[in-house]
Structure 1
């Protein structure tokens, strides 16, 4: 029997694409079970990277490494996550969903167990790469489980909810990771992640997905493309993740990595461009609609990096994660509300307005944060962060749906779309973080030079400030010279703090400007489409054009 022979499905059960599950009718309790399992699996896939990203300073101390070394952990995750999407679609199509589900969940469990025995940076990087590979599979698996919970007429809402579930990992990680660190330092994070992975494995074994079609998918040239594309993406991720730490123009190896990345990725694209059955359809990806979609996702991900800028601002004011719990609750509430609102309102006609609405909310939130002072506290940022979180999850579903419609029309482009969307999402996050932190460093130097320039002992206010700080140390320090030096150091620290706050305000303002510019670009493109459509319509219908002229003439007369 040919295991790749197409199965016979009823019309409402037929899988949308090879490698995806069939969609038989399920009773209500089973639909609810699929929805819960989809939430668990999707959250598990995103939680590992979120826990590491939020707690990098603690992991740095536990492993005893520098900031430039610990930054390899999230970079390794993104490297493997992006690269594996190149092969995962064909793996599902050729070997079926059951093997795909069990293999990658077991890999995830083993990678998490390996974390408990990590004692060095090299092993930690290897484990994060394994997590990236399995995490890419779990995100797709969670979406498939969620879709089983929705009937055909509401499946579009299921796509939005399934894509959005993975976005809840970061606010949840910020909310309770401090308590996990109290269990057994950084191992507490991985013990919780291991529990989530085992729970997800048990759930999918208890309630497997319905079977789907299997086809012979892999070709020899696929692996040649992967051998070039994967290291190229890895080198690009390394540049984006570490450029802001070692600084862009001061580490020669960054330039070599970027040059090698361009050569490798270009080589992979050249192979695909001349294949009869390409793994990546370069002609389709280079169409105007796909380039606009990729640019939209990239720009919105850069705008979303405002959340990490907020963390940087509050940390520069001396606040820890424990003091930001209320803020993360507001962020979580905004994320959930964004997913629900997007699912409630999603229709093909509303995709473009939804993207503009999400960007407008994020622009408002960024502009609200751009007026921060040294007196700002998390309570003053609840509304702005709620708006940013709401917009961040509200845009994701419509963006995914806008591109996936073209995939349904041409299933062979599924891998191309999956890779494009993943690259725009992941590299957009890395690029956004790199830009935010780089702009903050540059602007901090500028503001610091401006502030220090006016700090002179000839200014009575400066002298009084130094004397006041020195007098406060009178009971602890007896030497007047030491007290005066401490007063000068205290004033310098205050100037540095204010320079950092002004720099973060500049970052928030720049993010708001990027959001507004993206809205303007979308509106301009929409207006252009309407203008060209109105010009083409009369030309394609002469009678309609004559009627239009006659109506205009009669109106003028």
Structure 2
């Protein structure tokens, strides 16, 4: 029997696409089990990277490396995650879901276990790359499990929930990762990752997905495209992740890497553009709808980087993660609420309004944060961060659904859509962090120069501030000159802190402006679509009216 021969399915069981599971009827308890396993798998795929991302300063100290070296960890994850999406869709289609599931979960667990015994920066980068590959697989696998939990009439809601589960990883990581570090430093994080991977592996072995259709998918030119595209994306990720750390104009290798990325990605796209059955459908990806979708996701991901700016702002005030626990609970509640409300309200007609509502909420949160001062504490940011977290998860489901409808109409574009969505998400996150970090540094330098040029000991207020800071050390420092030097240093530190606060306010303000500009762009496009759809309708109506008039005239003359 041909293993690639299509199976006979009942109408309600037919898989949506080759490589996806069939959808038989399940009992309520089995649907609940699929939902729970889907949550575990999706969180497992996203939580490992989130734990590393929120604890980079602590991992830097534990591994004894520089900031420019530790920045390779999130970069390696994104490099592998984006590239693997080129091959994963065809891997599922040709080799089936069972091998896909067990292989990548086993890879995840083995990579984590190996890092517990062979540690260092090189092994940490290798583990992050392995987790990027398996994380790309687990995100899709979690979505497939969640879809089994929803009947056909609510499957659109299942897509929103399945995509949204992975977005809960970041606030969850901020909540309890400090405790893991206290238990076993960086090993505490990896022990937890290993435990999650083994739990997820056990769950998928106990509750398997229904079978689907298999097709012979791979072609020889697919691997040529991958060999060109993967290193190109890796170089681009390295530039975006480390540009701010080593500074854009100071490290020559950034320019060489960017040039190499452009050449390799362009070569891969050239190969695909001239293929009869391309892995990446460049003509479809370059259509107006797909370009607008990619731009929307990219812009929204840049707006979402405000949350990272909030962390930097609070750390600039001297707060640590333990003092922000309630804030992370609020953001987690906002993220969950965004997923739930999006799932309850999702319809094809509401996709565009949903995106604009999400952006409006994020813009409001950013504008509220732009008025922060040195007296601002997490309690004053609860509402704004709730809005940002809500908008961040509320937009994702409608965005995914808006593009996936075109894939259902043309299944051969599944890989192209998957890659476009992944690149917009992951590279958008890297680009957002790079832009926010770079803009914050530039504005901090500007505000520092403005503040410092007014600080002179000839100013009585400045002199009094220096003396007061020095007098506070009178009990431990007897030398007046040393006390005066310490007073000057304290004043300089205060000026730097205020410059950072002003810089973060500028960042939040610009993010709010970007969000408003994106809303305006979407609104103009939405109104344009309404107008262009209205004109043919009016023309058709006038034509019908004219034909009716002609008919009446003819009947009258007869």
Band of TM-score, shorter chain: over 0.9
Map of 1:416 onto structure 2: 416
Task: Report how far residue 535 of structure 1 moved.
Answer: 2.3
Q: Secondary structure at the residue paired with 1:466?
A: helix
Map of 1:500 onto structure 2: 500
* Paired residue total: 549
Distance change >3 Å, CA 299–CA 490, structure 1 → 2:
same
Matches within 5 A, 1:73-152: 73-152=73-152
Task: Report how far residue 544 of structure 1 moved.
Answer: 4.8
Matches within 5 A, 1:387-402: 387-402=387-402
User: Is 2:152 the counterpart of 1:161?
Assistant: no
Map of 1:190 onto structure 2: 190
Map of 1:257 onto structure 2: 257
Give distance in 2, aligned partners of 1:546 and 1:175: 68
Distance change >3 Å, CA 427–CA 377, structure 1 → 2:
same
Give distance in 2, aligned partners of 1:224 and 1:535: 47
Q: Secondary structure at the residue paired with 2:183?
A: helix
Task: Report how far residue 382 of structure 1 moved.
Answer: 0.5
Matches within 5 A, 1:280-295: 280-295=280-295
Give distance in 1, aligned partners of 2:118 and 2:542: 74
Give distance in 2, aligned partners of 1:416 and 1:540: 36
Distance change >3 Å, CA 55–CA 548, structure 1 → 2:
farther
Would you say the 8 A contact 1:444–1:503 is kept in 2? yes
Map of 2:11 onto structure 1: 11
Deviation by residue 1:265-300 (Cα, 9 ceiling, x = unmatched): 000000000000000000000000000000000000
Map of 1:47 onto structure 2: 47
Deviation by residue 1:455-481 (Cα, 9 ceiling, x = unmatched): 011211111111111111111111111
Give distance in 2, aligned partners of 1:146 and 1:118: 36
Q: Secondary structure at the residue paired with 1:248?
A: coil
Q: Secondary structure at the residue paired with 2:117?
A: coil
Distance change >3 Å, CA 540–CA 194, structure 1 → 2:
same
Deviation by residue 1:100-146 (Cα, 9 ceiling, x = unmatched): 00101100111111221232211111111011000100000000000
Deviation by residue 1:327-362 (Cα, 9 ceiling, x = unmatched): 000000000000000000000000000000000000
Of 532-541 and 86-95, deviating more is 532-541
Map of 1:353 onto structure 2: 353
Map of 1:552 onto structure 2: none
The alignment's TM-score, normalised by the length of structure 2, stands at: 0.97
Give distance in 2, aligned partners of 1:437 and 1:274: 39
Map of 1:553 onto structure 2: none
Map of 1:555 onto structure 2: none
Q: Give unmatched runs, 5+ long, in structure 2.
A: 550-558
Give distance in 2, aligned partners of 1:211 and 1:445: 59
Deviation by residue 1:218-264 (Cα, 9 ceiling, x = unmatched): 00000000000000000000000000001111111100000000000
Give distance in 2, aligned partners of 1:544 and 1:134: 59
Distance change >3 Å, CA 328–CA 544, structure 1 → 2:
farther
Task: Report how far residue 546 of structure 1 moved.
Answer: 5.4
Matches within 5 A, 1:284-363: 284-363=284-363
User: Is 2:530 the counterpart of 1:533?
Assistant: no
Give distance in 2, aligned partners of 1:96 and 1:364: 46
Give distance in 1, aligned partners of 2:501 and 2:160: 37
Map of 2:223 onto structure 1: 223
Q: Secondary structure at the residue paired with 1:116?
A: helix
Give distance in 2, aligned partners of 1:6 and 1:115: 42
Of 274-283 and 122-131, deviating more is 122-131
Give distance in 2, aligned partners of 1:205 and 1:157: 26
Q: Secondary structure at the residue paired with 2:96?
A: helix
Would you say the 8 A contact 1:538–1:544 is kept in 2? no
Deviation by residue 1:400-452 (Cα, 9 ceiling, x = unmatched): 00000000000000000000000000000000000000000000000000000
Matches within 5 A, 1:388-537: 388-537=388-537
Distance change >3 Å, CA 450–CA 545, structure 1 → 2:
farther
Would you say the 8 A contact 1:109–1:197 is kept in 2? yes
Map of 1:554 onto structure 2: none
Q: Give unmatched runs, 5+ long, in structure 1.
A: 550-557
Task: Report how far residue 381 of structure 1 moved.
Answer: 0.5
Would you say the 8 A contact 1:96–1:212 is kept in 2? yes
Distance change >3 Å, CA 273–CA 548, structure 1 → 2:
farther
Map of 1:171 onto structure 2: 171
